Chain A
Amino acid sequence: MNNERNAFQKIFLPKPANHQRNSTWSLMRQNKQSYFLIAPYFVLFFTFTVLPVLMAVALSFTSFNMLQPPQFAGWSNYIRLFLENEVFMTALQNTLIIAVVAGPVSYVLCFTFAWIINEMPPKIRAFMTVIFYAPSISGNVFFVWLWFFSGDRMGFVNGLLLNWGLIDAPINYFRDPRYILPILLVVQIWLSLGVAFLAFIAGLQTVDRAMYEAGAMDGIRNRWQELWYITLPSMRPQLMFGAVMQITASFAVGDISIQLAGFPSVAYAGETIVTHMMDFGWIRFEMGFASAIAVILFLMMVGTNKAVQRLLRKVGT
């Protein structure tokens, strides 16, 4: 019952009105049923999402092998990561290549496909949606790419090239460092038309028709101008959401690399930050070092997301 706001209030409520002392507490008491409803979710959310992030940050400053208690190690994990670990540089490079190529490409494809099929009749639209969305929900079906790029002559790519006489011996695609990363890119793009694609389809259907008619009156000449001046600005919220989904997914590539190119891949050609983290975490049990990798990945994902969000606010202006 004093004027001082405690730490909790300072975080949760910007400024209490002067005439209402303890308004935070009274507000909280009024809303206790709301807290009751959100409690189960947020207890789990803090346990399995927030706490692990904090723990990863804490562990990244320690040396921890799961047998002995963690020991404080300062910045040594990070120093080792950037100065002494050459494979991490490969992993970082591969991840950035995948993120820079697959991220924007899949984002643009998601939008372009959604935009084109939006003008089709509903039945065809529904059919096309299934075609484009199916790869991202069908689990481990990306194994089928092993049939295309199989190292023997039964693989489709090898079979065709051999048949046409372009090569005289089958190429072992997943064992040759030159081919691993490009194939991973193709597979990642194939897999990536997920939630963002659906969000764009839905967003396009909610754009007000009258806007287009008004735009036509105001001198919009063709579909490209219509896209830039009307469609994109009215879909900005969906574009933001889609960007978050695509960026996060493109930085998290790891599983397809392990399943297709092996773990570790030949000459680390398919090594990404995620596979590098798994290598140190689950195989070498250097948990402190693996946590440092996780923290770097976290910062890259969140940083890119924030930067792109800032960029997207300028769309159509």
Chain B
Amino acid sequence: MVAVQVSKRIDRSQYATVDERGKKIKYARRTKKLSRSVGGTVALFIFIGIFAIFMVMPMVLTVSNAFKPLDELFYFPPRFFVRNPTPTNFSDLFILMQQSWVPFSRYILNSLIITGFGTVGHLLFASAAAYPLAKNRFPGSKFLMSIVVLSLMFSPVVTAIPNFFIMTQLNLIDNQLAIILPAFSASLGLYLMKQFMEQIPDSLIESARIDGCWEVGIWWKIVMPNVKPAWLTLIILMFQALWANTGGTFIHSEELKPMTFAMNQIAAGGIARAGTGAAVMFITMIVPVTFFVISQSRIVETMATSGMKE
């Protein structure tokens, strides 16, 4: 592809002058536009277009399937988009919910307890720890931060087996706290919060300290209101992690399991329940995605400070 120069380059020689030491002074003059080749732009847009279709296709299919009547789900050749949208799948799902052995409202309550307490606790614990790590230097602060960063480098699956023994020792097996407590101490949240808090001006904190404010007070009254974008980020990351949690190895009693578990059971019902399964997938998907759409700009703002310095 022939690169077409869009911008008009200014002849620099007529602006360049020499300073006392013989060095050239460069005058920052606004160029019309940064040099962009049309061919490159077209190629990049085609590239991203193809991948955008790849990314969005399964999501569209999820939505489309949720509204397909049964005969369209099993139509040959398969149709991607729904022709006669119907809410039957959702009403079937509703009927199934009412017939479940444990009342479905119980699953919903469990999900609310786990995601609610887990998310709020994580936000409070992680930001309380993030403030001193970001703004104060005390013996051990660097060491603690370095283990947190190290813990970002391995996934929680590594600790799954020992964690089971720890939960047994703490008597938390078959207790929702086994999901909630580890969520409090997730390291990504602390890391992002600490990075975001570093940009709060020190003078703000110093003046409060001179007024005799306690560290806890500074954290709660001055730091926290200033990091609201980071709140949302921690909330959505933890919310979606807990929302997808099925209770795993820790929760055995049916009446303590979260909604995702029950939903997966319905979705695993095979061909006979293909329609309700599609409805279930639609519901599990739509909640976190809606949450993200609403809070997107705040989250991106937090991520700007996420960088790692060496």
Q: Chain A interface (Cβ within 8 Å of chain B)?
A: 9, 11-13, 24, 27-28, 30-31, 33-38, 40-42, 44-45, 47-53, 55-56, 59, 109, 112-113, 116-117, 126, 128-135, 137-145, 147-148, 153-156, 159-160, 162-163, 190, 193, 195, 198-199, 201-203, 205-206, 210, 212-214, 216-218, 220-224, 226, 235-238, 240-241, 244-245, 247-249, 251-252, 254, 274, 277-278, 281-282, 287, 290-291, 294, 297-298, 301-302, 305-306, 309, 313
| Residue from A133, A162, A203, A220 in contact with B304 in the complex, judged by beta carbons closer than 8 Å | A203
Does the CB pair B303–A195 fall under 8 Å?
Answer: yes
Does the CB pair A52–B157 fall under 8 Å?
Answer: no
The stretch from B81-89, B102-110, B134-142 touching chain A is B134-142
Q: Chain B interface (Cβ within 8 Å of chain A)?
A: 3, 7, 12, 26-31, 34-37, 40, 44-45, 47-48, 51-52, 54-56, 58-59, 61-62, 65, 73-78, 80, 125-126, 128-129, 131-133, 136, 138-141, 143-144, 147-148, 150-163, 165-166, 181-182, 184-185, 187-188, 190, 214-216, 219, 236-237, 240, 243-244, 249, 260, 264, 267, 277, 281, 284-285, 288-289, 292-293, 296-297, 299-304, 306-310
B141 — which chain A residues lie within 8 A by C-beta? 34
In the bound complex, what is the Cα–Cα distance between A138 and B240 (angstroms)?
A: 7
A221 — which chain B residues lie within 8 A by C-beta? 35
* Nearest Cβ on chain A to B238's Cβ, whole angstroms: 11
| Residue from B30, B128, B182, B306 in contact with A238 in the complex, judged by beta carbons closer than 8 Å | B306
A41 — which chain B residues lie within 8 A by C-beta? 125-126, 128-129, 184-185, 190
* Nearest Cβ on chain B to A221's Cβ, whole angstroms: 6
B31 — which chain A residues lie within 8 A by C-beta? 213, 216-217
B161 — which chain A residues lie within 8 A by C-beta? 52, 56, 59, 277, 281, 287, 290-291, 294
In the bound complex, what is the Cα–Cα distance between A47 and B163 (angstroms)?
A: 9
Does the CB pair B300–A201 fall under 8 Å?
Answer: yes
A214 — which chain B residues lie within 8 A by C-beta? 26, 28
| Residue from A36, A193, A203, A220 in contact with B216 in the complex, judged by beta carbons closer than 8 Å | A36
Question: Given the interface contacts A27-B138, A129-B300, A140-B244, does A298 sit within 8 Å of B77 by beta carbon?
Answer: no
* Nearest Cβ on chain B to A310's Cβ, whole angstroms: 10
In the bound complex, what is the Cα–Cα distance between A305 and B40 (angstroms)?
A: 33
In the bound complex, what is the Cα–Cα distance between A13 and B240 (angstroms)?
A: 39
Interchain residue pairs A-B with the least CB separation, the first 3: A237-B307, A52-B159, A41-B129
Does the CB pair B289–A216 fall under 8 Å?
Answer: no
Does the CB pair A134–B138 fall under 8 Å?
Answer: no
Does the CB pair B289–A134 fall under 8 Å?
Answer: yes
In the bound complex, what is the Cα–Cα distance between A228 and B170 (angstroms)?
A: 52
A278 — which chain B residues lie within 8 A by C-beta? 160
Question: Given the interface contacts A37-B128, A274-B157, does A205 sit within 8 Å of B185 by beta carbon?
Answer: no
A51 — which chain B residues lie within 8 A by C-beta? 162, 166
Max count, chain B CB within 10 A of own CB: residue among A53, A141, A297, A306:
A141
Instruction: Return the chain B residue nearest A300 by Cβ.
Output: B154
